[in-house]
Amino acid sequence: MTPVLILALLTGAVLFGVGVYGALSQTNLVMIMMGVELILAGALVNLVAFWRFLHPEVYSGQMFVLVVMTVMAVEMAVGFGVATARFRAKGSVEMEEAEDLKG
């Protein structure tokens, strides 16, 4: 493996690890969403690194990354919409206080 690939994989692993820690250790909805975004970003960095290393002539890897980035943007927009509505209704976005959201 090349040093560039190792550096990209380490960067992706660090992003993924920080995201997992952030998503599991926080109680604020916005902070949890930021952790999930870091998890997805780390996975995308690893995906791009492996795609570039294994099959640089095939463009399906780039298209998959664009689709995942679009899903990330939609997830953040919906999540912030839920957080804004929750804050306006209850005055807090803490997940511990969200017992009434259970179906």
- Domain-located, residue 100: no
Does the pLDDT value for residue 103 go beyond 60?
no
- Domain-located, residue 76: yes
- Count of structural domains, the chain: 1
Residues 34-64: tens digit of each pLDDT? 999 999 999 999 999 999 898 888 888 888 8
DSSP 57: T
pTM score of the predicted model: 0.85
Q: Which CATH number goes with the domain that contains 57?
A: 1.10.287.3510
SS3 91: coil
- Domain-located, residue 101: no
Please give the residue that has the higher pLDDT: either 14 or 2. 14
Q: What residue numbers bound the domain in which 42 lies?
A: 3-91
Q: What tokens were used for 24?
A: 């599991």
